[in-house]
Amino acid sequence: MKKKGFFSLLLMLALSLVLAACGGGTSDGGDESGGDEGSGDSGEKQFVSILTGGNQGTYYPLGGTFATVINDNVDNVDANATSSGASVENMKKLADKDGEIAFVQTDIAAYAAEGKLMFEDNQIDNVQAIGSLYPETIQIVTTKDSGIESVEDLKGKTVSIGAPGSGTRANAENILEIHGMSVDDIDAQNLDFGESTSGIQDGNIDAAFITSGTPTGAVEGLAATTDVNIVPVAEEKINELKEKYPYYAQDSIKSGTYGLESEVTTVAVQAMLVTHKDLSEDLVYNMTKAIYENTDAISHSKGEFITADSALEGVGIDLHPGAKKYFDEKGISKE
């Protein structure tokens, strides 16, 4: 009897395994390959790569802070910051889904959406906005001993206009144009922020255009060993620039920054976050909410400028539905 009971038990066990196998499917009943990218329906961890900029700019350390905020406040997400060539490169990578979130200048995002300038043959229509962050100041950096006191003084000088694929070059071209010049009037060098300031320190570069939130790490490093001068942009030229290119705004660099003895007037664009339109509404909503409702956890000086109330200023491309849902709940809309 004992033997018969043992075999009956084995038979029941085998039958239960067969029935379980016939049930098939995933544990949550969903299609393993279906749904939007990053929908999170399966409960599996979503990896989020944040495309930033060079290691010595503002994007990279701020991106690291955003990754921490997202990881601490959004379930099933593993976010990390990745160094890159900044705005132009970020738009192209994001369009190719080589990343989930990216930092970009508002002007560069507009060029990409409209298929203008560096995007003339590569219009990007699958990248949408999360929100703007803070002013990105155009800083024309040189030394006190260089003799360069105005934009016109750059003529004939060796000047870095930013890394290939960055938005800094477009800013340099716009500012030179307003002053009746072009990149042909200078010995243009395509260097990132760190290379630019190292070149100034070594005497190989006379000046550099750097578009970044102030204070910028690379310029602070230069100021630690060299007396720095920031070339001002005259107010009448700022007005001309704003009239022709509305995404610019007047800005200033406070005295004391980089050891400056007085405030310097210049211009700025906005830094913003963008994402791929195929990322799920829920994921983008949760990440947008995490960033704009935890600004006190942003361990970077630019955190003081980042608010939900100002997040749609300067945004010239469509909002991602997830971001729009968050701002609609807050009663915030684009002007």
CATH number of the domain that 143 lies in?
A: 3.40.190.10
Same domain, 176 and 288: no
Contact, 234 vs 170, CB < 8 A?
A: no
Indicate the pTM of the whole model: 0.72
For 158, list phi and psi in degrees, rounded to 5. -85, 115
Q: Which two tokens stand for residue 261?
A: 């003895």
Same domain, 114 and 186: no
- Residues contacting 189, CB < 8 A, separation 6+: 158, 159, 160, 161, 196, 199, 205
- Closest by CA position to 215, among listed 282, 264, 175: 264
Weakly modelled stretches of the chain, pLDDT under 50: 1-4, 6-7, 9-11, 13-41
Residue 7 in domain: no
Output the pLDDT for position 89: 92
Contact, 36 vs 278, CB < 8 A?
A: yes
Output the pLDDT for position 55: 85
Residue 111 in domain: yes
Cβ neighbourhood burial of 30 (10 Å; 0-12, 13-18, 19+): middle
Same domain, 174 and 279: no
Same domain, 264 and 238: yes
Output the pLDDT for position 103: 97
pLDDT, tens digit, 9 for 90 and up, residues 111-164:
999 998 889 899 999 999 999 999 899 999 999 999 999 999 999 999 999 876
Contact, 128 vs 275, CB < 8 A?
A: yes
Pairing of strands 207-212, 158-160: parallel
Same domain, 264 and 145: yes
Contact, 234 vs 212, CB < 8 A?
A: no
> Which residue shows structure tokens 């100041």?
137
Same domain, 162 and 242: yes
> What whole-number distance in Å separates Cα of residue 220 and Cα of residue 259?
9
Contact, 274 vs 66, CB < 8 A?
A: no
Residue 141 in domain: yes
Residue 299 in domain: yes
Domain span holding position 53: 46-134+271-330
Q: Within 10 A of 38 (CB to CB), how many other CB atoms are there? A: 21
Same domain, 264 and 157: yes
Integer CA distances (angstroms), 252 to 155, 176, 230, 246, 265, in order: 23, 19, 11, 18, 4
- Give strand pairing partners of 252: 265
Domain count, the chain: 2
- Closest by CA position to 235, among listed 270, 262, 266: 266
> What whole-number distance in Å separates Cα of residue 99 and Cα of residue 48?
7
Same domain, 110 and 82: yes
What is the total residue count of the chain? 335
Output the pLDDT for position 40: 42
Residue 33 in domain: no
- Residues contacting 325, CB < 8 A, separation 6+: 281, 285
